[in-house]
Structure 1
Amino acid sequence: MTRNTLPGIIAMAAIVVASNILVQFLYGQWLTYGAFTYPLAFLVTDVMNRVYGTAAARRVVLVGFGVGLVCSLIGTQIMGEFGPLVTVRIAIGSGLAFLVAQLLDVSIFAALRGGTWWRAPLVSTLIGGTLDTALFFSVAFSGAFSFIHPATDVSWASEMLPLLGTGPIAPLWVSLAVADWSVKIAIALLALIPFRVLTARMLRAS
Structure 2
Amino acid sequence: MSYLAKLVSQLWLPVAAMALVVLLSNVAVQYPFTPFGLGDYLTWGAFTYPVSFLVTDLTNRRYGASLARRLVVVGFLVAVAASIVAATPRIAMASGAAFLVGQLLDITVFNRLRRLAWWRAPLLGSLFGSALDTVLFFSLAFAGVVTEVSTYGIAGFAVTAPVWMAWGVSDFIVKVAMALLMLLPYGALLSIVLPAERLQRAR
1:86 to 85, 88, 98: 88
* Cα-to-partner distance string for 1:27-70 (whole Å, 9 max, x where unaligned): 22032322211110001001111111111211221122112211
- How many residues align? The count is 184
* Deviation at residue 2 of structure 1 after TM alignment: 6.5
For 1:13 and 1:138, locate their aligned partners in 2 and report how far apart those are by CA, in whole Å: 22
Task: Give TM-score, length-normalised by structure 1.
Answer: 0.80
For 1:172 and 1:2, locate their aligned partners in 2 and report how far apart those are by CA, in whole Å: 39
Paired residue secondary structure (2:161) = strand
Amino acid at match of 2:42: L
8 A Cα contact 1:25 1:33, kept in partner = yes
8 A Cα contact 1:161 1:172, kept in partner = no
1:63 to 74, 90, 103: 74
* Deviation at residue 71 of structure 1 after TM alignment: 2.7
1:190 to 181, 185, 192: 181
Paired residue secondary structure (2:151) = strand
The yes-or-no answer on 1:199 pairing with 2:190 is yes
Aligned to 1:110: 111
Aligned to 1:162: 152
For 2:166 and 2:181, locate their aligned partners in 1 and report how far apart those are by CA, in whole Å: 23
* Cα-to-partner distance string for 1:70-98 (whole Å, 9 max, x where unaligned): 133214xxxxxxxxx5153x333211100
For 2:30 and 2:164, locate their aligned partners in 1 and report how far apart those are by CA, in whole Å: 16
The yes-or-no answer on 1:50 pairing with 2:64 is no
CA RMSD of aligned residues (A): 2.3
Amino acid at match of 2:25: S
For 2:17 and 2:158, locate their aligned partners in 1 and report how far apart those are by CA, in whole Å: 37
Amino acid at match of 2:75: G
Aligned identity (percent) is 45
- Distance change >3 Å, CA 3–CA 68, structure 1 → 2: closer
For 1:23 and 1:62, locate their aligned partners in 2 and report how far apart those are by CA, in whole Å: 21
1:15 to 13, 21, 25: 21
Paired residue secondary structure (1:31) = coil
* Cα-to-partner distance string for 1:105-143 (whole Å, 9 max, x where unaligned): 111111111111111111110000000001111122234
For 1:169 and 1:130, locate their aligned partners in 2 and report how far apart those are by CA, in whole Å: 22
8 A Cα contact 1:17 1:67, kept in partner = no
* Deviation at residue 17 of structure 1 after TM alignment: 2.2
- Distance change >3 Å, CA 116–CA 21, structure 1 → 2: same
* Deviation at residue 20 of structure 1 after TM alignment: 2.6
8 A Cα contact 1:137 1:173, kept in partner = yes
Aligned to 2:3: none
